[in-house]
A and B are shown apart, each in its own frame.
Chain A
Amino acid sequence: MAQINVKVNGRAVSKQVEDRTLLVEFLRETLGLTGTHVGCDTGQCGACVVHLDGRAVKSCTMIAAQASGSEITTIEGLAKGDELHPMQAAFHRHHALQCGFCTPGMIMTAVDLLRRIPHPDEATIRANLDGNLCRCTGYHNIVKAIAAVAESGAGV
Chain B
Amino acid sequence: MAHDGIGARLPRKEDRRFITGAGNYTDDIVVRNAAHAEFVRSPHAHARILRIDVSAALRAPGVIGVLTGAELADDKVGGLICGWMIHSKDGSPMRAAPYAPLARDVVRYVGNPVAIVVAETKNEARDAAELVEVEYEELASVVDPAAAQAPGAPQIHAEAPGNTIYQWALGDKGAVDRAFAGAAHRVEVDLINNRLVPNAIEPRAATAIYDRAEGRFTLYTTSQNPHVTRLVLSAFVGLAPEHKLRVVAPDVGGGFWSKIFIYPEETVCLWAARRLGVPVKWAADRRESFLADAHGRDHVTHAEMAFDASHKIVGLRVKTIANLGAYMSTFSSSVPTYLYATLLSGQYDIPAIYAEVDAVYTNTTPVDAYRGAGRPEATYVVERLMDIAARRLRIDAAEIRRKNFIRSFPHQTPVIMNYDTGDYEASLNAALSAARYAEFPARRAEARSRGKLRGIGLSCYIEACGLAPSQAVGSLGGGVGLWESAEVRVNPVGTIEVLTGSHSHGQGHETTFAQLVAERFGVPTDQVSIIHGDTDKVQFGMGTYGSRSAAVGMSAVNKALERVEAKARRIAAHLMEAAESDVELKGGEFVVAGTDKKIAFANVALAAYTAHNLPPGTEPGLKEGAFYDPVNFTFPAGTYVCEVEVDPKTGAVEIVQFTAADDFGTIVNPMIVEGQVHGGLAQGIGQALLEGCRYDRDSGQLVTATFMDYAMPRARDLVSFNVSTTATPCKTNPLGIKGCGEAGAIGSPAAVINAIANAIGVERIEMPATAQRVWETCRAAQAAVAAQ
- A40 and B283 alpha carbons, distance in the complex (Å): 11
Q: Give every chain A residue within 8 A of B63 (Cβ-Cβ).
A: none
- A44 and B714 alpha carbons, distance in the complex (Å): 11
- A132 and B679 alpha carbons, distance in the complex (Å): 15
Known: A40-B706, A140-B720. A99 touches B201 (CB 8 A): yes
Interface residues of B in 19-65 (CB under 8 A from A): 19-23, 25, 27-28, 30
Q: Give every chain B residue within 8 A of A40 (Cβ-Cβ).
A: 285-286, 706-707
Binds A, one of B143-151, B480-488, B503-511, B780-788: B503-511
Task: State whether A137 touches B678 (Cβ < 8 A).
Answer: yes
Q: Give every chain A residue within 8 A of B199 (Cβ-Cβ).
A: 135
Known: A20-B123, A99-B505, A129-B715. A138 touches B201 (CB 8 A): no
- A125 and B23 alpha carbons, distance in the complex (Å): 26
Q: Does B697 contact A (CB under 8 A)?
A: no
Known: A34-B21, A88-B19, A102-B201. A42 touches B708 (CB 8 A): yes
Q: Give every chain B residue within 8 A of A132 (Cβ-Cβ).
A: 714-715
Contact with A along B1-21 (1 / 0, CB 8 A): 000000000011011111111
Q: Does A107 contact B (CB under 8 A)?
A: yes
Q: Does A61 contact B (CB under 8 A)?
A: no
- A84 and B20 alpha carbons, distance in the complex (Å): 8
Known: A34-B28, A41-B706, A143-B720. A97 touches B678 (CB 8 A): no
Chain A nearest Cβ from B251, distance in angstroms: 7
Q: Give every chain B residue within 8 A of A84 (Cβ-Cβ).
A: 19-20
Task: State whether A33 touches B21 (Cβ < 8 A).
Answer: yes
Known: A18-B123, A133-B201. A98 touches B508 (CB 8 A): yes
Chain A nearest Cβ from B60, distance in angstroms: 15
Q: Give every chain B residue within 8 A of A91 (Cβ-Cβ).
A: 15, 19
Interface centre among A35, A98, A104, A139 (most CB of B within 10 A): A98
Chain A nearest Cβ from B488, distance in angstroms: 26
Q: Give every chain A residue within 8 A of B706 (Cβ-Cβ).
A: 40-42, 44
Chain B nearest Cβ from A154, distance in angstroms: 15
Task: State whether A41 touches B18 (Cβ < 8 A).
Answer: no
Q: Give every chain B residue within 8 A of A136 (Cβ-Cβ).
A: 201, 254, 506, 675, 679
Q: Which residue of A lies closest to B200 (CB)?
A: A135
Interface centre among B11, B19, B714 (most CB of A within 10 A): B19
Q: Give every chain A residue within 8 A of B679 (Cβ-Cβ).
A: 98, 135-138
Q: Does A4 contact B (CB under 8 A)?
A: no
Q: Does B497 contact A (CB under 8 A)?
A: no
Q: Does B324 contact A (CB under 8 A)?
A: no
Q: Which residue of B lies closest to A139 (CB)?
A: B715
Task: State whether A32 touches B30 (Cβ < 8 A).
Answer: yes
Q: Give every chain A residue within 8 A of B25 (Cβ-Cβ).
A: 34, 37, 101
Q: Does A13 contact B (CB under 8 A)?
A: no
Q: Give every chain B residue within 8 A of A98 (Cβ-Cβ).
A: 254, 506-508, 675, 679
Q: Does A1 contact B (CB under 8 A)?
A: no
Task: State whether B678 touches A100 (Cβ < 8 A).
Answer: no
Interface centre among A40, A91, A138 (most CB of B within 10 A): A138
Q: Give every chain A residue within 8 A of B683 (Cβ-Cβ).
A: 135, 138
- A104 and B714 alpha carbons, distance in the complex (Å): 17
Known: A92-B12, A135-B201. A100 touches B672 (CB 8 A): no
Q: Give every chain A residue within 8 A of B744 (Cβ-Cβ).
A: 138
Q: Which residue of A lies closest to B680 (CB)?
A: A138
Q: Does B180 contact A (CB under 8 A)?
A: no
Task: State whether A130 touches B714 (Cβ < 8 A).
Answer: yes
Q: Does A5 contact B (CB under 8 A)?
A: no
Q: Which residue of A lies closest to B288 (CB)?
A: A41
- A21 and B201 alpha carbons, distance in the complex (Å): 22
Chain A nearest Cβ from B551, distance in angstroms: 19
- A117 and B24 alpha carbons, distance in the complex (Å): 33
Q: Which residue of A lies closest to B508 (CB)?
A: A98
- A125 and B505 alpha carbons, distance in the complex (Å): 26
Binds B, one of A51-59, A64-72, A73-81: A73-81
Q: Does A122 contact B (CB under 8 A)?
A: yes
Task: State whether A95 touches B672 (Cβ < 8 A).
Answer: yes
Count A/B pairs, Cβ under 8 Å.
182
Task: State whether A133 touches B505 (Cβ < 8 A).
Answer: no
Q: Give every chain B residue within 8 A of A123 (Cβ-Cβ).
A: 716
Q: When the two chains form the complex, which single residue of A39, A41, A127, A141 contacts B675, counting CB atoms closer than 8 Å?
A: A141
Q: Give every chain B residue within 8 A of A125 (Cβ-Cβ).
A: 715
- A12 and B658 alpha carbons, distance in the complex (Å): 49
Chain B nearest Cβ from A21, distance in angstroms: 9
Known: A98-B507, A99-B505, A130-B714. A76 touches B286 (CB 8 A): no
Q: Give every chain B residue within 8 A of A104 (Cβ-Cβ).
A: 18-19, 21
- A19 and B505 alpha carbons, distance in the complex (Å): 36
Q: Give every chain A residue within 8 A of B721 (Cβ-Cβ).
A: 138, 140
Chain B nearest Cβ from A36, distance in angstroms: 7
Q: Give every chain A residue within 8 A of B713 (Cβ-Cβ).
A: 138
Chain B nearest Cβ from A33, distance in angstroms: 7
Task: State whether A101 touches B202 (Cβ < 8 A).
Answer: yes
Task: State whether B18 touches A100 (Cβ < 8 A).
Answer: yes
Task: State whether A92 touches B16 (Cβ < 8 A).
Answer: yes
Interface residues of A in 7-21 (CB under 8 A from B): 18, 20
Chain A nearest Cβ from B464, distance in angstroms: 23
Q: Does B256 contact A (CB under 8 A)?
A: yes
Q: Does A142 contact B (CB under 8 A)?
A: yes
Task: State whether B254 touches A103 (Cβ < 8 A).
Answer: no
Q: Does B252 contact A (CB under 8 A)?
A: yes
Task: State whether B715 touches A92 (Cβ < 8 A).
Answer: no
Q: Does A126 contact B (CB under 8 A)?
A: yes
Q: Does A134 contact B (CB under 8 A)?
A: yes
Q: Does A93 contact B (CB under 8 A)?
A: yes
Q: Give every chain A residue within 8 A of B285 (Cβ-Cβ).
A: 38, 40-41
Q: Give every chain A residue within 8 A of B20 (Cβ-Cβ).
A: 35, 75-76, 78-79, 84, 88
- A52 and B287 alpha carbons, distance in the complex (Å): 27
Q: Does B389 contact A (CB under 8 A)?
A: no
Q: Give every chain A residue within 8 A of B708 (Cβ-Cβ).
A: 42, 44
Q: Which residue of A lies closest to B684 (CB)?
A: A138
Q: Does A114 contact B (CB under 8 A)?
A: no
Q: Does A150 contact B (CB under 8 A)?
A: no
Q: Does B718 contact A (CB under 8 A)?
A: yes
Task: State whether A139 touches B507 (Cβ < 8 A).
Answer: no
Q: Give every chain A residue within 8 A of B11 (Cβ-Cβ).
A: 92-93, 95
Contact with A along B259-272 (1 / 0, CB 8 A): 00000000000000
- A69 and B331 alpha carbons, distance in the complex (Å): 52
Q: Give every chain A residue within 8 A of B30 (Cβ-Cβ).
A: 32
- A100 and B256 alpha carbons, distance in the complex (Å): 14
Q: Does B712 contact A (CB under 8 A)?
A: yes
Known: A92-B16, A143-B715. A133 touches B707 (CB 8 A): yes
Interface residues of B in 664-706 (CB under 8 A from A): 671-672, 674-675, 678-683, 706
Q: Which residue of B lies closest to A33 (CB)?
A: B21
Q: Does B501 contact A (CB under 8 A)?
A: no
- A57 and B708 alpha carbons, distance in the complex (Å): 18
- A47 and B17 alpha carbons, distance in the complex (Å): 16
Q: When the two chains form the complex, which single residue of B27, B671, B682, B716 contacts A129, counting CB atoms closer than 8 Å?
A: B716
Chain A nearest Cβ from B370, distance in angstroms: 11
Q: Which residue of B lies closest to A79 (CB)?
A: B20
Q: Give every chain B residue within 8 A of A32 (Cβ-Cβ).
A: 30
What are 12 sample pairs from A and B whose C-beta atoms fall under 8 A apart? A45-B707, A74-B21, A76-B20, A84-B20, A95-B675, A98-B508, A100-B17, A102-B253, A103-B19, A135-B256, A137-B675, A142-B715
- Other A-B pairs beyond A40-B285, A98-B254, 20, CB < 8 Å: A33-B21, A35-B20, A37-B25, A38-B27, A39-B202, A98-B506, A98-B675, A99-B200, A99-B505, A100-B253, A101-B202, A104-B19, A104-B21, A129-B714, A133-B707, A135-B682, A136-B679, A138-B678, A140-B720, A141-B675
Binding site for B on A (CB under 8 A): 18, 20, 28, 32-42, 44-45, 47, 74-76, 78-79, 84, 88, 91-93, 95, 97-104, 107, 122-123, 125-127, 129-130, 132-144
9 cross-chain pairs, A with B, having the tightest CB-CB distances, nearest first: A35-B21, A101-B253, A100-B18, A138-B682, A99-B506, A98-B506, A44-B707, A75-B21, A138-B678
